[in-house]
A and B are shown apart, each in its own frame.
Chain A
Amino acid sequence: MRARRRRVWRAVQRVALYGAALAFTVFAVFPFYWMLLTAFKTNRDLYVGATDLSHIPWIFNEPPTLDHIRLLLTQTPYLVWVKNTALVGALVVAITLLAAVPAGYSLARLSGRWGERLGIAIFLTYLIPPTLLFIPFSRVIALLGLQNSLWALVLVYPTFTIPFCTWLMMGFFRSVPRDIEEQGMVDGYSRAGVIRRVVLPLAVSGILTVVIFAFTLVMQDFVYALTFISSVGRMTVSLGVPVALVRGDVFYWGSLMAACLITSIPLAVIYNLFIDRFIAGLTAGALKG
């Protein structure tokens, strides 16, 4: 009797587990499903209105169409925004690497005791949000004559990528055994030579992670782009799609959701591959114990 009850209880637990997993997944994925649906639905299928209870919005009532995608790619500046984003992203990644990789190493190995504290201080600046900084920045950008220029973004984005990536790199460099670096020094190399010949090759995966995160952080920004960029032709994807993919007052929801979908999904896939390192970086302090 007891054994049977336990078996039933197990089964109930199992069902509850899958039920909960399903519920969380549905909540998380639902907007993306909605993007997918909207992006490929015909306008007739799309703009029925929720009052018509006989028309089920959750499925394709008519065969899917590529019209919205075609419109997005040919009639809108979407591809220009992609180009702008790629340009800004590449420059910001380059600046971030040039600053964060050496700084991470310096804090991990060459700065002695105050390296730890300075590292934490730099990390904390990552917590200073754009909300506090966009107003003074707008003054700085105006002074530099960079209003409505992509260079404003190139200048400003490293303020959040550098602190975070420095912190990440510091962690990576710490995980390179000291012995190996010292061995390199005994084997005939200067500290600088050891960094180039031993440490950097060992930190390749860390550097790759930093590239990915710097780029996704750039993609995530909306505030600075909104503050500094006003011409449609100079916008990034995450600014252009929400504010400029509207004709007059009319939203082109099909194309808009298509843009959201084809921007988000590749990013999310890449991001997912590196998320564990990201978490490890953020929680380095709390997890140590």
Chain B
Amino acid sequence: MPAAAVAVRRRTAGDREDLLGRLMLAPALAYVILLVGAPLVLAVLLSFTSATAGSLTFTWVGLANFSRLVRDSQFQLALRNTVVFTLVSQALVIVLAVTAAHVLDAAFVGRRAVRFLLLLPWAAPVSLAAMAWTWIFDSTFSVINWTLKVAGLLRGWLYWFGDPTLAMIAIITVHVWRMFPFATVVVLAGMSAIPQDIREAAVIDGAGFFRRLVSVQLPLLLPIVTVSVLFGVVFTSTDLGVVWLLTRGGPYNSTHVLSTLAFQRGILGASLGQGAAVALFLLPVLVVVAAVMLRVARRAEVGA
């Protein structure tokens, strides 16, 4: 027997699972703690200070940033916009996604191709997609305006980024366009997880399409739809790129959301404290989302 085989008869570091486990986890954990945990704490701390980007001094100002914000009409609008964008776009996304998933689930020719095309919006870098939409909504060259005109649906002219309502519609359109393919694929994954015999049982029982949808599929799809909505809420409510690239918060600061306002005040305006305070208003949303997510996961586990 070679010497090497004899030399390692006793336990070495490679055999000690507890030690190995900690060593292997350490880099990732350190990264997350140092570069996610610590900055998160720093974000909270900054929001209580009057820190600016230029100097490295902190002055503790307590709740001053927050009390100023709550009275700030600009902030109130941004908060409202964030809620509106998120809720409206997610509502549309659910309807579109459940419908699209049912369409895709039915066997038809070219299904794979359709699925591929549907996923393009989600896979493309968001900033580039936003640029395409900026061009589509261009004030002079908008193909939408041309088409509406030719169809006889439009009398005057739509200045998409010149009018607050139109700008909001444009932003919501882009959010929906971006999120619904993702939601569709998630729901589709959920549908294929519904056992075939349950579906067939419903068909044999003579339930019609809508009865089947409402009383069999939707309840079974609920957890997966919840997950997709939660991700949608997180991605939409915290998104900065779409609003920033489409409108820069304009016209007249009417389409600012919390993230763009935080960017404007914290980075461009250099008052880190203010910006951090604005962004911090997103934290409760995330906490709620995380809590619901954990519940869904746990219930799925108990059910299994």
Contacts and interface: CB of A to CB of B under 8 A. Distances in A.
Q: Do A and B bind each other?
A: yes
Interface of A: 17-18, 20-21, 24-25, 27-32, 34-35, 38, 46-51, 53, 57-58, 98-100, 102-103, 105-107, 109-111, 115, 118, 120, 122, 124-125, 127-140, 142-143, 155-156, 158-159, 162-163, 166, 188, 190-193, 216, 219-220, 222-223, 226-227, 237-239, 241-242, 251, 253, 256-257, 259-260, 263-264, 267-268, 271-272, 275-276, 279-280, 282-289
Nearest to A278: B185
A275 B185 contact: yes
Contacts of B258: 131
Q: How large is the interface on B (under 10, 10 to 19, 20 to 34, 35 or more residues)?
A: 35 or more
A28 B96 CA distance: 12
Interface string B1-39: 000010010001111111011111101110110011101
B43 A133 contact: yes
Interface stretch (B72-80, B98-106, B161-169): B98-106
A203 to B, nearest CB: 14
Interface of B: 5, 8, 12-18, 20-25, 27-29, 31-32, 35-37, 39-40, 42-43, 46, 51, 53, 56, 96, 99-100, 103-104, 106, 108, 110, 114, 116-133, 135-136, 140-143, 145-147, 149-150, 157, 177, 180-181, 184-186, 189-190, 193, 223-224, 226-228, 231, 234-235, 238-241, 244-245, 258-259, 262-263, 266-267, 272, 275-276, 279-280, 282-283, 286, 289-290, 293-294, 296-301, 303-304
A17 B106 contact: yes
Contact of B301 (A21, A283, A289): A289
Nearest to B104: A21
B20 A192 contact: yes
Given A34-B136, A162-B32, A260-B131, A190 B12 contact: yes
Nearest to A287: B193
A287 to B, nearest CB: 5
B186 A256 contact: no
Contacts of A190: 8, 12, 14-15
Given A50-B141, A139-B53, A222-B245, 15 more contacts: A21-B108, A28-B180, A34-B132, A110-B18, A111-B21, A129-B234, A129-B235, A129-B259, A135-B279, A140-B39, A190-B12, A192-B13, A222-B244, A223-B259, A286-B226
B189 A283 contact: yes
Contacts of B289: 127
A131 B238 contact: yes
A125 B36 contact: yes
Nearest to A58: B143
A47 B143 CA distance: 11
B127 A135 contact: no
A151 to B, nearest CB: 13
Nearest to B145: A50
A285 B279 contact: no
Contact of B42 (A102, A139, A155, A259): A139
Contact of A159 (B35, B51, B143, B145): B35
Contact of A50 (B21, B99, B114, B142): B142
